[in-house]
């Protein structure tokens, strides 16, 4: 079997200690929470570390509750995906988030995997997520040790795709994340956590620890309806090849006050379908508008031949899945067959 | 998941013999408790004192000469014990005597990414792994070949230099039985189709593993997860240059095989060599990626099929062509090639038939036998083609098949002897179960039913290497305690062969399953059984077991008869007793019967063996296809298709299998459901596919996704409910009338899906896996008035060589090819030279291909 290389494993007991360790650790230090991303990557040697710092022993970093008396919902960075999908507050106020989380991987991995880990999950590519020997066979790639992005050989940038299912729905719901380091903390909208670059896909500095995800009161189910649709080969385990997260706020008269449509897995970061969202504002969610919104959303997506399914077909699916998600929000009858949808 | 339902009115067939107590009844498999409690020791569970670990250094280039191998850096890894390279094992091996084209470690040239070039042993698995990564190999690249078309267009460089067909063609065949052109002339409808079946792999849960233990300097024992310990034994002897008598191979219970562990493998041989070199046990467990490189899975096959029909649906004749992408080695490829043409004739009457096939080498892992070996591809083409014909002729697809059913106990146009045929009853069962007559064509847009059938061997009629010996042997040894020890070379790969063996012996001797002590798959201790492949075990081992057990029963009966003064033929063996049928109180306990027999005859032992009947075919190529008898299956699959996305979901599968007679109906159901699962995987998503990088930048040719996560195979969630029907029509050739079930039920599943998609949305997908984008494309074509189809557009231009013409039984043939051709062939054969003899010569008894 594949073997983990030797490394030092550290388990700080407080956030301060963890922040100091990572600040002192240098470039060969990595953070780990559930390990469902890092350990397989280290087994295959495309992520390397001399020191791995676990966040799982830090009290208070996991948990779900109302943030400092406001209506905000706080989810701690090391809260397991399983705990989130089954939490009554999440299910009641942010059902689309629960749906996104329960679509991630398989139950055993959700028992270990955390929200912070999923938000920061490494970008994926079929030229990259391979063993050391396999990657030698292609002389590596731009993302790791090589010089060429084999997905787009003339491209100066890496096209590995974002693989987080929680990120698009959190972005659609206007979530914020807290990043803590020895230099202090900052609270940023989750959408500014990402960059559209397969290698340097996070704006988080290596010495920063993602401690919380905060969901605004205004995004809860009372004023906002949201939906999450995910396309993949097998509903039991696979990473998404497309995820659609949509949130729509309506005014008293049933007109759309605000809409946010985000796409996952079709770019190196979650992508905001701006025009597709704006189109809906001021109108009602009638079938034609939803169809048009899907068409506009497709223009944002950049599916590449670096994951499952035919690339062109995935482009068509952006249209269909955006429309389907919006129909769910509008309460229109569903015509789509989504075999792997929960 | 499944409803184990017997088809309506399917009462057990009448049998003159007495009722059985074990055979035919559901019983717990004899190895079941050990497996679910983790007691079973698979090859990877084995550990021995002083055992070290080995890893193979595999090629990272697809086709190249090896310039140098540098182990100096690797040797510095703490714990490293030794290395091996190809120079230490110059002898070649390979499962078929006609294509012994593999080396344990490549001595001079690599032919695919994953070819082993060196081996490292170390005290820990970690050290072996690290050291293997540090071995440096320099290569001088050669042009690569990635497809049949490239192989045909690129005779040089040759991946192998020995094949008589030349260039990168490994095997070609052209056989005509009867007069196919004449058959098309008399037809009212002649249909042509092009189909494609993608390659896929076995994906057995257990990765291959082996442990080799040296004794002295020239004896070695190899434990391995293998389906064929006997063939591994022969390969070890050849490559290690050791007499077979000094090598012991023990087949561990396999965590699934499906054909993927039927070849002798390089890692088994290298482990043995390393163990002899180091003088300590050596273990190797392959990674999942390495298993993808071992492969021997389903060949990707391009197909062309042309069939003539009368207005009433009668089939007049068929011409079928196949082109197989074989990968880097021969493996079972010659047999696979013939298998793509052999079994078209056993389901429906086909009076005239022509088959042409070609297999080429490519720089990819070798293809070989996977569940259904070479027959799911042509079966897919044939059954989709028949569905189209039914629509053209205006005949219900089930009815068309029923009208053409092959007759039982006949000889087909290509000289296969078919036995019992339960296919008609299979079709009726699934037609009834699925409500076919009321629902087919009437489910509305997006819902559909598809029907297809299949047939499979109950064991290959001929052994892999030419010999006149039995294909299975069973030895019984009884002692005064009443214990019955059964020795047989069979290999338990999860299919239940241990249970079948124990059940047959227990049934005949009238004892219980746990009175039987099994010793199986051990070349030092057990009589030869050729292995768990070609669905041969129940029939062949079963018949050998019947013979051995009946001989033991006769011995005991003779002793008991003398002691009780009851005629031997009146004695009954049941409930651990031997007693007088007319006075059941008069008898002996089984153990006392053994005492009586041991006192009378001395140590008690019997043997039984099985050799299949000789097949009537006498033409070159007649060696592939014959079987003592054939199993049959029929399947109806219901599918839901979304026309806007092409996404689809199987809703339900009804499948009926003609088993002859169940030894254990629970195991039969398990094999049926497992076959449906595997067939659906191939039909819906599985692809063993490869990637080339832009040639101006790289010579790479790599497996696209050699991992369990990215090689897509269905999970529980994708698995629809299955209704299984066991059709029993005992065949006198099988033990207790039993036929096979391990492979046959897979065959109808892929075409049933494609046919169901057509019923749902009116488009033809002429290839598997059926992908959603294909349905969408075909629907687009339909809207634009083009052919509502997705599939291959052409068949490669192949020179199949001279056609061997064989008169059919109906034409008064005798199984031989026409005389003129035979004479010419023999002349040209004498002129050929080379070390790789053709199987055909062996089949004609001209050459002994047995290895030393």
What's the confidence (pLDDT) of residue A223? 83
Give SS3 for A261. strand
Nearest-CB residue to B776 (from A137, A316, A338): A316
Query: CA–CA separation, B478 vs B494, rounded Å?
Result: 27
What's the confidence (pLDDT) of residue B838? 44
Put simply, whether A278 touches B (Cβ < 8 Å) is: no
Query: CA–CA separation, B406 vs B343, rounded Å?
Result: 12
C-beta of residue A209 within 8 angstroms of C-beta of residue A18 = yes
Of B172, B191, B196, the closest CA to residue B356 belongs to B172
Yes or no, beta carbons of B60 and A126 under 8 Å apart: no
What's the confidence (pLDDT) of residue A334? 82
Put simply, whether A153 touches B (Cβ < 8 Å) is: yes
Query: CA dihedral in degrees (B615, B616, B618, B620; nearest 10)?
Result: -50
Query: Above 60 in pLDDT, residue A341?
Result: no
Yes or no, beta carbons of B646 and A139 under 8 Å apart: no
Band of residue A254 on the pLDDT scale cut at 50, 70, 90: confident
Q: Please report where in the chains the tokens 């029909």 appear, as a residue.
A: B309
**B109, two tokens:** 């040239």
Q: Please report where in the chains the tokens 């380091």 appear, as a residue.
A: A181
Yes or no, beta carbons of B641 and A129 under 8 Å apart: no
Query: CA–CA separation, A263 vs B303, rounded Å?
Result: 41
In sign, the C-alpha dihedral spanning B438, B440, B446, B447 is positive
Task: Please give the sequence-ordered ranges of beta strands (E in DSSP) within B87-218, or none if there are none.
Answer: 109-110, 116-122, 136-141, 169-177, 189-197, 209-215
Query: CA–CA separation, B846 vs A65, rounded Å?
Result: 84
Q: What angle do CA A11, A15, A19 make, to 5 degrees?
A: 85
Which phi-psi region, left, alpha or beta, contains residue B245 (left: φ > 0; alpha: ψ -120 to 50)? alpha
What's the confidence (pLDDT) of residue B832? 45
Predicted-complex ipTM score: 0.96
Strands B353-360 vs B315-325: parallel, antiparallel or unpaired: parallel
| Residue A210: strand pairing partners | A179
Determine how many CB atoms are found less than 10 A away from the CB of residue B801: 14
Query: CA–CA separation, A272 vs A250, rounded Å?
Result: 19
Nearest-CB residue to B644 (from A131, A235, A335): A335
Put simply, whether A337 touches B (Cβ < 8 Å) is: yes
What's the confidence (pLDDT) of residue B823? 65
Nearest-CB residue to B126 (from A3, A236, A336): A3
What's the confidence (pLDDT) of residue B824? 59
* pTM greater than 0.90 (yes/no): yes
Yes or no, beta carbons of A133 and B130 under 8 Å apart: no
Query: CA–CA separation, B295 vs B332, rounded Å?
Result: 12
Longest distance between any two alpha carbons in chain B, whole Å: 90
What's the confidence (pLDDT) of residue B850? 38
**In chain B, positions 409-468, which contact chain A (CB-CB < 8 Å)?**
446
Query: Above 80 in pLDDT, residue A262?
Result: yes
C-beta of residue B615 within 8 angstroms of C-beta of residue B457 = no
* Radius of gyration of chain A from its Cα atoms, rounded to whole angstroms: 20
Residue of A nearest to B128 (CA): A3
**B61, two tokens:** 């280039």
Q: Convert B733-742 to b/e letters by CB count within 10 Å (16 or more is b).
A: bbbbbbbbbb
The CA distance from B120 to the nearest CA of chain A, in Å, is 15
C-beta of residue B557 within 8 angstroms of C-beta of residue B508 = no
Q: Please report where in the chains the tokens 């990402």 appear, as a residue.
A: A194
Q: Which contiguous run of DSSP H or E holds residue B819? A: helix B819-831
The per-residue DSSP string of B285-311 comes to E--HHHHHHH---BPPEEEEEEEEE-T
The CA distance from A15 to the nearest CA of chain B, in Å, is 33
Determine how many CB atoms are found less than 10 A away from the CB of residue A298: 22
Nearest-CB residue to B712 (from A233, A235, A310): A233
Q: In what order do the strands lie in the sheet with B169-177?
A: B767-768, B189-197, B301-309, B315-325, B353-360, B169-177, B804-806
Q: What angle do CA B835, B836, B840 make, to 5 degrees?
A: 130
Q: Please report where in the chains the tokens 């087994």 appear, as a residue.
A: A43
Q: Which residues in chain A have Cβ-Cβ distances shorter than 8 Å to B694?
A: 153
Which residues have CB under 8 Å from B558's CB, separation 6+?
B568, B597, B600
Query: CA–CA separation, A319 vs A301, rounded Å?
Result: 10
Query: CA–CA separation, B549 vs A339, rounded Å?
Result: 52
Could you report how far apart the first and last alpha carbons of chain B are, in Å? 50
The CA distance from A20 to the nearest CA of chain B, in Å, is 32
The CA distance from A294 to the nearest CA of chain B, in Å, is 13
C-beta of residue A230 within 8 angstroms of C-beta of residue A240 = yes
**In chain B, positions 478-507, which contact chain A (CB-CB < 8 Å)?**
none
Q: Which contiguous run of DSSP H or E holds residue B518? A: strand B516-520
Please state the rounded mean pLDDT for residues A33-51: 96
Query: CA–CA separation, B257 vs A253, rounded Å?
Result: 64
**Which tens digit of pLDDT belongs to each residue from A92-141?**
999 999 999 999 999 999 999 999 999 999 999 999 999 999 999 999 99
Nearest-CB residue to B285 (from A1, A312, A338): A1
Longest distance between any two alpha carbons in chain A, whole Å: 62
For residue A236, with 0-12 CB atoms within 10 Å meaning exposed, 13-18 middle and 19 or more buried, which class applies? middle
Query: CA–CA separation, B19 vs B10, rounded Å?
Result: 17
What's the confidence (pLDDT) of residue A252? 81
What's the confidence (pLDDT) of residue B837? 41
Determine how many CB atoms are found less than 10 A away from the CB of residue B599: 11
What's the confidence (pLDDT) of residue B216? 85
| Residue A310: strand pairing partners | none
Residue B514 per-residue DSSP state: G
Q: Which contiguous run of DSSP H or E holds residue B589? A: strand B583-589
Strands A176-181 vs A209-215: parallel, antiparallel or unpaired: antiparallel
Determine how many CB atoms are found less than 10 A away from the CB of residue B446: 16
Of B283, B367, B365, B369, the closest CA to residue B58 belongs to B365
Residue of A nearest to B447 (CA): A337
Query: CA–CA separation, A299 vs A318, rounded Å?
Result: 9
Query: CA–CA separation, B53 vs B55, rounded Å?
Result: 7
Of B41, B400, B438, the closest CA to residue B206 belongs to B41
Yes or no, beta carbons of B645 and A150 under 8 Å apart: no
Put simply, whether A183 touches B (Cβ < 8 Å) is: no
What's the confidence (pLDDT) of residue B750? 98
Average pLDDT per block of 10 residues along chain B, 852 residues long: 38 54 96 96 98 98 98 98 98 97 98 98 97 98 98 97 95 97 98 98 98 94 98 98 98 98 98 98 98 98 98 98 98 98 98 98 98 98 98 98 97 97 98 98 97 98 94 98 97 97 98 97 98 97 98 98 97 97 97 98 98 95 96 98 95 98 97 98 98 96 96 94 97 97 98 98 98 98 98 97 96 87 60 42 44 34
C-beta of residue A279 within 8 angstroms of C-beta of residue A289 = yes
Which residues have CB under 8 Å from B550's CB, separation 6+?
B508, B608
Query: CA–CA separation, B496 vs B726, rounded Å?
Result: 17
Q: In what order do the strands lie in the sheet with B447-457?
A: B2-5, B722-728, B648-660, B630-641, B447-457
Give SS3 for B98. helix
Strands B583-589 vs B417-418: parallel, antiparallel or unpaired: unpaired
Determine how many CB atoms are found less than 10 A away from the CB of residue B649: 16
Yes or no, beta carbons of A308 and B706 under 8 Å apart: no
**B388, two tokens:** 């189209």
User: How many beta-carbon pairs under 8 angstroms link A with B?
Assistant: 102
Query: CA–CA separation, B208 vs A189, rounded Å?
Result: 49
The CA distance from A13 to the nearest CA of chain B, in Å, is 30
**In chain B, positions 320-359, which contact chain A (CB-CB < 8 Å)?**
none
Yes or no, beta carbons of B709 and A238 under 8 Å apart: yes
Of B410, B277, B412, B430, the closest CA to residue B355 belongs to B412
Q: Which residues in chain A have Cβ-Cβ distances shorter than 8 Å to B129?
A: 2-3
What's the confidence (pLDDT) of residue B828? 59
Which phi-psi region, left, alpha or beta, contains residue B625 (left: φ > 0; alpha: ψ -120 to 50)? left
For chain A, what is the total number of helices (H) and then of strands (E)?
12, 12
In sign, the C-alpha dihedral spanning B328, B330, B335, B338 is positive
User: Which of B123, B364, B693 has the highest number of chain A CBs within 10 A, making it the mutation to test binding with A?
Assistant: B693
Put simply, whether A305 touches B (Cβ < 8 Å) is: no
The CA distance from A211 to the nearest CA of chain B, in Å, is 30
Of B717, B163, B627, the closest CA to residue B419 belongs to B627
CA B235 to each of CA B88, B210, B265: distance values in angstroms, whole numbers, following the listed order: 15, 15, 9
What's the confidence (pLDDT) of residue B17? 54
Nearest-CB residue to A336 (from B207, B645, B716): B645
Of B442, B453, B328, B440, the closest CA to residue B403 belongs to B453
**B819, two tokens:** 């005389």
What's the confidence (pLDDT) of residue B831? 46
**B746, two tokens:** 């897979």
């Amino acid at each position: 079997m594949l073997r983990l290389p030797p490394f030092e494993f550290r388990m700080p007991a407080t956030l301060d200690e963890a922040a100091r360790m990572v600040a002192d650790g240098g470039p060969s230090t990595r953070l780990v929470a559930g390990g469902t991303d890092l350990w397989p990557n280290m087994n295959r040697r495309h992520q390397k570390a001399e020191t791995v710092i676990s966040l799982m022993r830090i009290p208070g970093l996991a948990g779900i509750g109302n943030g400092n008396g406001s209506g905000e919902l706080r989810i701690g960075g090391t809260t397991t995906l399983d705990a989130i999908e089954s939490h009554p507050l999440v299910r009641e106020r942010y059902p689309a988030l629960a749906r996104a989380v329960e679509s991630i991987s398989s139950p055993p991995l959700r028992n270990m995997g955390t929200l912070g880990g999923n938000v920061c999950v490494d970008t994926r590519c079929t030229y990259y997520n391979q063993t050391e020997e396999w990657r030698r066979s292609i002389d590596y790639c731009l993302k790791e040790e090589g010089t060429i992005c084999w997905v787009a050989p003339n491209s100066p940038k890496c096209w590995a795709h974002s693989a987080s299912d929680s990120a698009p729905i959190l972005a659609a719901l206007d979530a914020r994340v807290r990043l803590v380091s020895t230099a202090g903390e900052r609270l940023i909208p989750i959408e500014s956590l990402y960059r559209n670059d397969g290698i340097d896909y996070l704006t988080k500095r290596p010495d920063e620890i993602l401690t919380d995800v905060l969901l605004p009161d205004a995004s809860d189910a009372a004023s906002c309806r949201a939906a999450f649709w995910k396309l993949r080969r097998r509903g039991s385990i696979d990473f998404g090849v497309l995820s659609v997260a949509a949130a729509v706020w309506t005014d008293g008269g049933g007109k759309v006050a605000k809409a946010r449509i985000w796409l996952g897995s079709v770019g190196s970061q979650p992508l905001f379908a701006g025009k597709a969202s704006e189109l809906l504002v001021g109108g009602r969610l009638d079938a034609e508008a939803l169809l048009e919104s899907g068409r506009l959303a497709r223009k944002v997506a950049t599916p590449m031949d670096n994951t499952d399914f035919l690339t062109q077909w995935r482009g068509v699916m952006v249209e269909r899945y955006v429309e389907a998600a919006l129909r769910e929000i509008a309460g229109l009858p569903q015509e789509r067959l989504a075999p792997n949808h929960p | 998941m499944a409803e184990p339902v017997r088809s309506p009115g399917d009462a057990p067939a009448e049998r003159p013999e007495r009722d059985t107590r074990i055979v035919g009844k559901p019983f717990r498999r004899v190895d079941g408790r050990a497996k679910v409690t983790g007691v079973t020791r698979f090859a990877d569970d084995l550990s021995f004192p002083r055992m070290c670990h080995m890893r193979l250094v595999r090629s990272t280039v697809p086709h190249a000469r090896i310039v140098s191998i540098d182990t100096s850096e690797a040797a510095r890894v703490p714990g490293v014990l030794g290395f091996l390279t190809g120079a230490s094992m110059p002898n070649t091996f390979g499962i078929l005597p006609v294509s012994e084209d593999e080396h344990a470690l490549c001595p001079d040239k690599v032919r695919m990414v994953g070819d082993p070039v060196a081996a490292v042993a170390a005290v820990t698995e970690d050290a072996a792994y690290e050291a293997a990564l540090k071995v440096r190999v320099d290569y001088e690249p050669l042009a690569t070949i990635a497809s049949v078309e490239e192989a045909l267009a690129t005779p040089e460089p040759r991946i192998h230099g020995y094949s008589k067909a030349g260039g990168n063609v490994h095997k070609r065949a052209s056989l005509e039985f009867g007069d196919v052109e004449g058959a098309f002339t008399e037809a009212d409808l002649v249909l042509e189709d092009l189909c494609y079946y993608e390659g896929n792999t076995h994906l057995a849960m257990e990765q291959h593993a082996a442990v080799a233990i040296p004794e002295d300097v020239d004896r070695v024992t190899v434990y391995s997860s293998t389906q064929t310990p006997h063939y591994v034994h022969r390969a070890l002897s050849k490559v290690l240059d050791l007499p077979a008598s000094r090598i012991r191979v023990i087949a561990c219970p396999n965590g699934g095989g499906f054909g993927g562990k039927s070849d002798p493998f390089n890692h088994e041989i290298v482990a043995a060599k390393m163990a002899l070199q180091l003088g300590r046990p050596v273990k190797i467990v392959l990674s999942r990626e390495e298993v993808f490189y071992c492969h021997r899975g389903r060949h990707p096959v391009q197909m062309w099929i042309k069939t003539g029909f009368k207005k009433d649906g009668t089939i007049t004749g068929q011409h079928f062509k196949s082109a197989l992408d074989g990968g880097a080695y021969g493996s079972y490829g010659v047999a696979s090639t013939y298998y793509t043409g052999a079994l078209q004739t056993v389901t429906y009457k086909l009076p005239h038939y022509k088959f042409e096939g070609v297999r080429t080498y490519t720089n990819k892992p070798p293809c070989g036998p996977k569940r259904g070996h070479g027959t799911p591809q042509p079966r897919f083409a044939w059954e989709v083609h028949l569905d189209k014909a039914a629509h053209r002729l205006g005949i219900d697809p089930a009815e068309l098949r029923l009208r053409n059913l092959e007759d039982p106990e006949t000889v087909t146009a290509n000289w296969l002897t078919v036995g019992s045929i339960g296919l008609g009853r299979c079709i009726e069962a699934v037609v009834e179960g699925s409500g076919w007559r009321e629902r087919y064509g009437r489910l509305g847009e997006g819902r559909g039913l598809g029907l297809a059938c299949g047939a499979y061997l109950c064991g290959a009629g001929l052994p892999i290497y030419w010999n006149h010996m039995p294909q299975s042997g069973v030895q019984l040894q009884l002692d005064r305690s009443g214990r019955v020890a059964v020795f047989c070379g069979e290999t338990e790969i999860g299919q239940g062969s241990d249970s079948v063996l124990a059940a047959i012996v227990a049934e005949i001797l009238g004892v219980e399953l746990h009175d039987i002590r099994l010793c199986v798959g051990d070349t030092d201790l057990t009589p030869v059984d050729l292995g768990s492949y070609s669905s041969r075990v129940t029939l062949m081992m079963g018949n050998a077991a019947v013979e051995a057990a009946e001989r033991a029963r006769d011995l005991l009966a003779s002793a008991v008869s003398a002691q009780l003064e009851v005629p031997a033929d009146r004695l009954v063996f049941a409930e651990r007793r031997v007693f007088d049928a007319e006075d059941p109180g008069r008898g002996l306990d089984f153990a006392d019967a053994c005492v009586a027999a041991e006192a009378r005859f001395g140590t008690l032992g019997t043997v039984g063996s099985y050799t299949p009947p000789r097949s009537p075919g006498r033409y070159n190529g007649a060696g592939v296809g014959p079987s003592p008898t054939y199993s049959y299956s029929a399947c109806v699959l219901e599918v839901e298709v979304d026309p806007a996305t092409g996404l689809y979901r199987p809703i339900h599968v009804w499948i009926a299998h003609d088993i002859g007679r169940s030894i254990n109906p629970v195991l039969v159901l398990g094999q049926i459901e497992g076959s449906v699962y595997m067939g659906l995987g191939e039909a819906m998503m599985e692809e063993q596919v490869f990637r080339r990088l832009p040639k101006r930048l790289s010579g790479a040719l790599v497996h696209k996704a050699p991992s369990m996560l990215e090689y897509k195979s269905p999970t529980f969630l994708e698995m629809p409910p299955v209704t299984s029907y066991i059709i029993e029509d005992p065949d006198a050739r099988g033990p207790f009338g039993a036929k096979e079930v391990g492979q046959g039920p897979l065959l109808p599943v892929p075409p049933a899906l494609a046919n169901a998609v057509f019923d749902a949305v009116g488009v033809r997908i002429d290839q598997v896996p059926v992908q959603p984008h294909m349905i969408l494309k075909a629907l687009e074509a339909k809207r634009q008035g083009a052919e509502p189809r997705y599939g291959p557009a052409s068949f490669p231009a192949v020179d199949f060589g001279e056609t061997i013409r064989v008169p059919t039984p109906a034409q008064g043939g005798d199984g031989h090819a026409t005389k003129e051709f035979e004479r010419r062939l023999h002349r040209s054969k004498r002129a050929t030279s080379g070390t790789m003899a053709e199987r055909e010569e062996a089949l004609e008894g001209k050459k002994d291909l047995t290895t030393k």
